[in-house]
């Protein structure tokens, strides 16, 4: 291309920004309800909706309410929800054995959503942290998180969740080798059609704080998760994590947290071309809501711009606590 062709005053970049119609015509990225995965917190109870203090607008819901929310998601065109249980502390122990109870909260919620919305994509985390009394994602012994013993439990947890109606297992634990092991376990149990969305590049992040309050694992957590979650300093390592997970059979991959890690999203999408998702995590939600509630940021514009940026960076979708509100705004327009 002759660069002088594009030189001012012959060329004026503002011509394609001058009206709403032309802007819509040249937009490279679009955002819609189909881009969202909506996370929901579940708690034991009946007709319960309990606010999460550090996440204004987010509530813990009893199983009956979760089914209602899933119907709402479906009406709004949101294709997927992710379920996170707040386990009664009395049911927590060192190995997270409640994870293997086929009637635990997440399995009951999954069955309720599956009944209410047969077509809904349902994500269930494979990880032990909602169930362990020390708050870690794996089995803790003598100060160490045991990789292979944890993977054995995750396999069984994933099969139980699939049996409850979960169609998309989301291993969020960051143990080595868990994707291949979970894939083999699902297949052996006849669940060849159940997908795996791997939290492949999951960082040891300060931005998970409000989530840990929401599921009640914050108070329990002993130490930090840096021996299994990734160091925020690294990117090449993220590519190796994603390569391994895809090789082991992951159908989709996730990068987490979201906005501070868009460089990782871009590299992962460019390198593998796999379905790639970003988790806009609880701390990011809390930051934005803090500013929005103070009147420092415009609510709707901030929400939509934030979510659009994930798509521009290469994400095929976003797991976000704003899913419902963003879908409402977008369907109103
Ligand atoms: C647990 C899990 C966490 C999140 C999702 N699954 C927390 C953690 O790893 O400590 C965080 C999500 C968020 O902050 O919104 N394995």
CATH number of the CATH domain containing 185: 3.20.20.70
Beta strands in 10-72 (DSSP E): 36-42, 49-51, 59-61
Asked whether 251 and 196 are in contact (CB, 8 A), the reply is yes
Residue 159 to residue 180: CA distance in whole angstroms: 14
Residue 65 to residue 58: CA distance in whole angstroms: 13
Q: How many CB atoms lie within 10 A of CB 332?
A: 7
In a domain, 12, yes or no: no
In a domain, 40, yes or no: yes
In Å, how far are 41, 43, 71, 130, 304 from 48, measured between CA atoms? 11, 8, 17, 19, 29
Among 92, 155, 225, 256, the one annotated catalytic: 256
In a domain, 15, yes or no: no
DSSP secondary structure letter of residue 100: G
Is 202 known to be catalytic?
yes
In a domain, 20, yes or no: no
Residuewise pLDDT in 10s, the chain (333 residues):
676 678 999 999 999 999 999 999 999 999 999 999 999 999 999 999 999 999 999 999 999 999 999 999 999 999 999 999 999 999 999 999 999 999 999 999 999 999 999 999 999 999 999 999 999 999 999 999 999 999 999 999 999 999 999 999 999 999 999 999 999 999 999 999 999 999 999 999 999 999 999 998 877 788 899 999 999 999 999 999 999 999 999 999 999 999 999 999 999 999 999 999 999 999 999 999 999 999 999 999 999 999 999 999 999 999 999 999 999 999 987
* 333 Cα–ligand 1 center, Å: 32
Residue 38 to residue 43: CA distance in whole angstroms: 17
Q: The dihedral of CA 317, 40, 329, 262: what is its sign?
A: negative
**Which domain does 276 fall in, by range?**
30-332
* 282 Cα–ligand 1 center, Å: 8
In a domain, 302, yes or no: yes
In a domain, 3, yes or no: no
The pocket around ligand 1, CB under 6 angstroms, is made up of 125, 127, 129, 137, 172-173, 208, 211-212, 225, 281-282
User: What's the pLDDT score for residue 1?
Assistant: 67
In a domain, 267, yes or no: yes
Among 202, 225, 269, 311, the one annotated catalytic: 202
Is 144 known to be catalytic?
no
* 169 Cα–ligand 1 center, Å: 15
- Nearest alpha carbon, ligand 1 atom 10: 208
- Nearest alpha carbon, ligand 1 atom 8: 208
Q: What is the pTM of this model?
A: 0.96
Ligand 1: which of 126, 127, 230 to mutate, judged by most atoms within 8 Å of the beta carbon? Answer: 127
Residue 276 to residue 290: CA distance in whole angstroms: 28
Q: How many domains are there within the chain? A: 1
User: What's the pLDDT score for residue 222?
Assistant: 80
Which positions ≥6 away from 260 have C-beta within 8 Å?
207, 232, 284
Q: Specify the DSSP element, H or E, that contains 238.
A: helix 236-248
- Nearest alpha carbon, ligand 1 atom 14: 208
In a domain, 163, yes or no: yes
């Amino acid at each position: 291309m002759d660069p002088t062709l594009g030189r001012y005053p012959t060329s004026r970049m503002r011509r394609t920004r001058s009206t709403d119609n032309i802007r819509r015509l040249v937009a490279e990225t679009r955002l819609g309800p189909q881009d969202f995965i909506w996370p929901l917190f579940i708690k034991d109870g009946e007709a319960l909706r309990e606010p999460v203090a550090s996440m204004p607008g987010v509530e813990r819901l009893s199983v009956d309410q979760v089914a209602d929310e899933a119907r709402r998601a479906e009406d709004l065109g949101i294709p997927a929800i992710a379920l996170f249980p707040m386990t009664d502390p009395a049911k927590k122990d060192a190995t997270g054995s409640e994870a293997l109870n086929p009637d635990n909260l997440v399995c009951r919620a999954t069955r309720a959503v599956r009944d209410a919305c047969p077509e809904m994509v349902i994500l269930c985390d494979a990880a032990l942290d909602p169930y362990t009394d020390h708050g870690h994602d794996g089995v803790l012994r003598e100060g160490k998180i045991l990789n292979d013993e944890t993977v054995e439990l995750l396999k069984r947890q994933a099969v139980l969740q699939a049996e409850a109606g979960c169609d998309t297992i989301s291993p969020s634990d960051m143990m080595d080798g868990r994707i291949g092991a979970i894939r083999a376990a699902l297949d052996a149990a006849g669940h060849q059609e159940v997908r795996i969305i791997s939290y492949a590049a999951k960082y040891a992040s300060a931005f998970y704080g409000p989530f840990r309050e929401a599921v009640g694992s914050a108070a329990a957590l002993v130490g930090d998760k840096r021996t299994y979650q990734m160091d925020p300093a690294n990117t090449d390592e993220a590519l190796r994590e994603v390569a391994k997970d895809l090789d082991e059979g992951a159908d989709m991959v996730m990068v987490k947290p979201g906005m501070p890690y868009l460089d990782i999203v871009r590299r992962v999408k460019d390198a593998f071309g796999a379905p790639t998702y970003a988790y806009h995590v609880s701390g990011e939600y809390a930051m934005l809501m803090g500013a929005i509630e103070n009147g420092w940021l415009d609510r709707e514009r901030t929400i939509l711009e934030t979510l659009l940026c994930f798509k521009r960076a290469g994400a095929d979708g976003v797991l976000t606590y704003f899913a419902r509100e963003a879908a409402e705004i977008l369907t109103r327009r």
